[in-house]
């Protein structure tokens, strides 16, 4: 999908904001260490003085619409719990339907309890609804809990959402540990300061390398 001008402008504002914070290295479309995620903008801020300790790293995700934000804002633990709850309901319903609809058995196993069943021709509304929700939660666990995983894996020291106005309706919607910047009149306004996250020195250095690599692409 082609990038919109609105999203591109949010990335530009994020780069400028990081530079204003003293980041000496800033780039867009950077792959994070310790994960398979790529963030819209990343920055590296050197420590003052002669410290050998790696500096602070920033990960910035730009969200131009509320649907875009909600897609990545799920919590992995709650999604896993809901997925398991739906799975157990599906198994109970499967056992019930298999008793009443033995003709749906595919006879792929010698034992009925281990066989598979095809209830599609019966158009059972609850069965289809549960399976559809289970598949949705499966996708969410694998790819739609981006914010939660980035913070938990320690991919960057500070994580910020950069959003258009009215995308995030309250601070309570923000992922744990993340800060928020909102685009207003061509500038970014600080809505909430990000909390410093636990990051290894090696991860900070690796992100600096990837920022440098992204700038050279």
Q: What is the pLDDT of residue 138?
A: 62
Does pLDDT of 119 surpass 70? no
Q: Are 8 and 1 in contact (CB under 8 A)?
A: no
Alpha carbon distance 134, 181 (integer Å): 34
Count of other CB atoms within 10 angstroms of residue 200:
12
> Per-residue pLDDT for 1 more than 80?
no
Is the pTM higher than 0.85? The answer reads: no
Residue 38's Cβ-count burial label (10 Å; 0-12, 13-18, 19+) is: middle
**What is the pLDDT averaged over residues 20-39?**
93
Residues 19-27, mean pLDDT to the nearest whole number: 95
Return d(Cα 209, Cα 205) in angstroms, integer. Answer: 6
> Is the pLDDT higher at 27 or at 68?
27
| Helix (H/G/I), strand (E/B), else coil: 215 | helix
Which pLDDT belongs to residue 79?
62
Question: How many CA atoms within 13 Å lie on the side-chain side of 185?
Answer: 1
Q: Which domains does the chain have, with CATH numbers?
A: 5-74+146-215 (3.40.1350), 76-143 (no CATH)
Residue 35 has pLDDT above 90, yes or no: no
> How far is residue 128's CA from residue 133's CA, in Å, rounded to a whole number?
9
More confident residue, 50 or 131: 131
For the residues 97-101, what does the mean pLDDT come to? Answer: 74
Of the candidates 85, 69, 91, the residue with the CA atom closest to the CA atom of residue 144: 69
217 or 63, which is more confident? 63
Round the average pLDDT of the chain to a whole number and report it: 82
The per-residue pLDDT for 98 is: 75
Residue range 42-67: average pLDDT?
Answer: 87
pLDDT band at 141 (very low <50, low <70, confident <90, very high): low
Residues in the chain: 217
Running DSSP on this structure, what letter comes out for residue 117?
B
Q: Token pair of 44, please?
A: 């590296």
Q: Are 188 and 13 in contact (CB under 8 A)?
A: yes
């Amino acid at each position: 999908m082609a990038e919109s001008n609105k999203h591109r402008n949010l990335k530009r504002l994020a780069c400028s904001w990081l530079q204003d914070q003293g980041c000496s290295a800033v780039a867009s479309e950077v792959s994070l260490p310790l994960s398979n995620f790529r963030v819209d903008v990343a920055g590296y801020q050197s420590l003052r003085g002669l410290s050998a300790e790696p500096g602070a790293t920033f990960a910035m995700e730009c969200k131009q619409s509320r649907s875009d934000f909600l897609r990545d804002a799920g919590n992995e633990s709650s999604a896993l719990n809901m997925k398991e709850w739906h799975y157990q309901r599906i198994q109970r319903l499967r056992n019930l339907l298999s008793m009443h609809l033995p003709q749906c058995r595919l006879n792929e196993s010698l034992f009925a309890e281990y066989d598979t069943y095809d209830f599609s021709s019966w158009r059972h509304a609850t069965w289809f609804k549960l399976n559809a929700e289970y598949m949705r939660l499966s996708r969410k666990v694998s790819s739609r809990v981006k914010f939660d995983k980035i913070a938990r894996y320690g991919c960057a020291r500070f994580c910020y959402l950069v959003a258009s106005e009215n995308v995030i309706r309250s601070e309570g919607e923000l992922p744990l540990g993340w800060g928020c910047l909102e685009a207003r009149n061509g500038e970014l306004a600080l809505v909430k300061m990000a909390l410093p996250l636990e990051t290894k020195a090696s991860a900070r250095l690796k992100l600096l390398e990837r920022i440098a690599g992204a700038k050279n692409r």
